[in-house]
Amino acid sequence: MRHIRLALRAAEPAGPGIRLLTLMDPDGWPLPRWRPGAHIDLHLPGGLTRAYSLCGDPAEAECWRIAVKREPAGRGGSAWLHDALAVGEELPASLPRCTFPLAEGASRHIFLAGGIGVTPFLAMAAALARSGAEHHLHLLHRGPPPLPTQLAALQGRVTLHDTLTGRPGLAALLGPPTPGTEAYCCGPPGLIEAFLAAWPADQARVEHFTPPPLAPLPGARPFTLVLAKSGRSLDLPAGAPLLPALHSLGAEVESSCEGGICGACRVRWLEGPPLHRDRILRPEERETHLMACVAGCAGSRLVLDL
Amino acid sequence: MSVTPSWIGLVAHLHITARAFLPMRAMEAIELVAGEGILGDRYRIGTEEGFYSPKPEPGRQVTLFEEEALEAIRRDHGIELRPEEHRRNVTTRGVPLTHLVGRRFRLGDCLLEATRLSIPCRHIEEILEKPVFDPMINRSGLNCRILEGGTVRLGDPIRPV
Ligand code: FES
């Protein structure tokens, strides 16, 4: 599996229910480079995997920072990162993956964050502050905001909207979509929907932090899953999920969000055609790859390069 | 009778990394240990931290890559691949690496035996975010065993024996 090992070097409280973790190579070796908007998966005890956006400065080669919000209703991953992981301990992590990149050609960037969804924008703001591109962050939060120290460091390029005192109108907040302006949203599904209703899609980028519910698979039929490299195969009923089938065939495919948004389970396909239900592959990428956590098959055979 | 070798190359760059996936670090000199590998590098026998080859691979104690291949990848594919990005230890200038499989040659004062051509790994595309896998097929460097160890420095000659 494609893992690197990270050691927890420092941990500090960073707003309500949030623990800011500084992660490094155990020997302080430089870490892989990453682009603002990237996230990593942390592999936790009990087979849990959790994705976190990197929220430090991409120019810091030796450490990564993530902000973990305690999710009392979650499956225990955030609680473990809050209560059990001690400074000095190590844990496996994936390489950074960027499914939420900055728009390269844009001259102006508007960020819209809901709560802890602010994290990728802190990395983006650090990169843009260096390049000099115009940018501004709008953060919607309830009560005390997350990561107050990091927000203060943005030096006026941030507007806080406490939703306890009313919800701002998004159209007014975002302003007119002038040419060269790209707007980004990361937050709960309701905020992303409202954002996409208020701003043109061709100048918008979104990052879901919880996978949206899956649409059923129209056109699915029973199919044979074939692994080209190992030669193993398995007959599956219509609409059967691929990941468990792949694991039962002994294929090592990573997964994290299991909802088609994080990029962990990308696999090359050779024969299909697959039914794509992810939110991240571009049309031309779908010609050769699928996201195994959500993909299905429209043909009678799905052959994967595994 | 003295034989004039048909080629003499040199060491253009040196890199090591402590672990798979982590960036390669440029070095002025590296220390080769016979039968083991490079001090501090991921593939040293007994201390493997490499991902691609989880089992000790006696034929992969040090890896070489032609600087000319970087130029060919730029010319043929328009991809800028830097010496620290091909993930081999020694970037060579003027050495016909593909002709050395099965042969012995000198790297500085060290004696190496070339075991096989390296194969690229798909993960390199993720690490670099550059589509270099196909361009690197058949020009991904050379794996070698260390017969006599020692220090290798930038600019050291590489020659046949
Ligand atoms: S596991 Fe996240 S995209 Fe498949």
Q: What is the mean pLDDT of residues A253-257?
A: 81
- Of the residues A99, A261, A276, which should be mutated to test ligand 1's pocket, given the most ligand atoms within 8 Å of the CB? A261
Is there a contact between A171 and A112 (Cβ–Cβ < 8 Å)?
no
In B, which residues are within 8 Å of A3 by CB distance?
Answer: 51
Percent of chain B residues past pLDDT 90, beyond the cut: 63
Q: Are both A3-94 and A223-304 of the same fold?
A: no
Rounded Cα distance, A247 and B6, in Å:
53
pLDDT class for B52, splitting at 50, 70, 90?
A: very low
**Is the ipTM above a cut-off of 0.85?**
no
The residue ranges of every structural domain in chain B are 9-160
Q: Give residue A261 CA to ligand 1 midpoint distance, Å.
A: 6
d(C-alpha A131, C-alpha A134), whole Å: 9
Per-residue b/e over A177-208, b at no fewer than 16 CB within 10 Å? beeebbbbbbbeeebbebbeebbeeebbbbbb
Q: Does domain A3-94 have CATH number 3.40.50.620?
A: no
Going by C-alpha positions, the residue among A269, A262, A260 that lies closest to residue A291 is: A260
Kindly report, residue by residue over A192-245, the tens digit of the pLDDT.
999 999 999 999 999 987 766 666 677 778 899 999 999 999 999 888 889 989
**Residue ranges covered by each domain of chain A:** 3-94, 108-208, 223-304
| Ligand 1 cavity residues, CB under 6 Å | A 255-258, 260-265, 278, 291, 293
| Element of type H or E holding B68 | helix B67-77
Find all residues with CB under 8 Å of B103, minimum gap 6, and list them. B113, B114, B160
B8 touches chain A (CB under 8 A): no
pLDDT at A261: 80
Decide: A136 and A158 in contact? Cβ < 8 Å: yes
pLDDT at A247: 87
pTM for the structure as a whole: 0.77
Q: Which atom of ligand 1 is nearest to the CA of A292?
A: 4
pLDDT tens-digit map of A25-74: 998 889 999 999 999 999 888 778 889 999 999 999 999 999 999 988 77
CB contact under 8 A, B19 and A35: no
Which fold does the domain A108-208 belong to in CATH? Answer: Rossmann fold (3.40.50)
| Integer Cα distance of A187 and B149 in angstroms | 56
Q: Which CATH superfamily is domain B9-160 in?
A: PK beta-barrel domain-like (2.40.33.20)
A127 CA to chain B: closest CA distance, Å? 18
Among B19, B25, B129, beta carbon nearest to A4: B19
CB nearest A31 (choices: B22, B25, B126):
B22
Q: How confident is the model at residue B54 (pLDDT cuts 50, 70, 90)?
A: very low
The per-residue pLDDT for A213 is: 65
pLDDT tens-digit series, residues A124-175: 999 999 999 999 999 999 999 999 999 999 988 999 999 999 888 999 999 9
Q: What is the mean pLDDT of residues A175-191?
A: 95
B121 Cβ under 8 Å from any chain A Cβ? no
- Which chain B residue's Cα is nearest to A27? B18
| CATH architecture assignment, domain A223-304 | Roll (3.10)
CA distance A43 to B90: 34
